[in-house]
Amino acid sequence: MSAGGGRVRIYDVAHLAGVSVATASKALNDTGRMTDETRAKVKAAATQLGFRPNAMARGLIQRRSFTIGLLTNDTYGRFTLPVMAGISEALVDQGVSVFLCGVDDDPALGKLHLDAMLDKQVDGIIASGKRVDRKLPVDLSNLPVPVVYAFTEGHEGSVTLVSDDAQGSTEAVEHLKRLGRKRIVHVTGPESFASVRERAAAYRAAVGGEGIVLHGEWSEHWGHAAVDLLWTAEGARPDAIFCGNDQIGRGVVDALRERGVGVPEDVAVVGFDNWDIVASQTRPPMTSVDMNLKAIGREAGRLVLELAEGRAVEPGIRKLPCSLVVRQSCGGSAAVTHRRGGVEATVE
Taking CB under 8 A as the criterion, the residue among 13, 39, 83, 95 binding a copy of itself is 95
Query: Cα separation of 211 and 204, whole Å?
Result: 6
Nearest distance in Å: CB 305, a copy of itself: 15
Nearest distance in Å: CB 127, a copy of itself: 15
Which residues is 184 bridged to in the sheet? 240
Q: What is the contact mask toward a copy of itself in residues 223 to 262, using x (rule: CB under 8 A)?
A: ------------------------x---------------
Taking CB under 8 A as the criterion, the residue among 30, 37, 119, 314 binding a copy of itself is 119
Stretch that binds a copy of itself, among 174-182, 191-199, 219-227, 340-348 (CB under 8 A): 219-227
Which residues is 124 bridged to in the sheet? 68
Query: Cα separation of 280 and 266, whole Å?
Result: 20
Write the CB contacts of 174 (distance below 8 Å, at least 6 apart in sequence).
206
Would you say 130 or 177 has its CB closer to a copy of itself? 130
Say if residues 126 and 88 touch (Cβ distance below 8 Å). Answer: no
> Per rule CB under 8 A, is residue 151 in the interface with a copy of itself?
no
Enumerate residues 275-334 that contact a copy of itself by CB under 8 A: 277, 281
Nearest distance in Å: CB 179, a copy of itself: 26
Would you say 118 or 205 has its CB closer to a copy of itself? 118
Which residues is 150 bridged to in the sheet? 128, 161
Would you say 115 or 191 has its CB closer to a copy of itself? 115
Show contacts of 208-214: CB within 8 Å, 24+ apart. 211/184, 211/185, 211/186, 212/185, 212/186, 212/238, 213/185, 213/186, 213/188, 214/185, 214/186, 214/187, 214/188
Which residues is 213 bridged to in the sheet? 186
Using CB under 8 A, count the residues that bind a copy of itself. 43
Stretch that binds a copy of itself, among 109-117, 131-139, 164-172, 186-194 (CB under 8 A): 109-117
328 DSSP 8-state letter: G
> Per rule CB under 8 A, is residue 75 in the interface with a copy of itself?
yes
Query: Cα separation of 234 and 42, whole Å?
Result: 77
Which residues of this chain interact with a copy of itself, rule CB under 8 A?
11, 14-15, 19-23, 65-67, 69, 75-77, 81, 84-85, 88, 92, 95, 97-102, 108-109, 112-113, 115-120, 219-221, 247, 277, 281
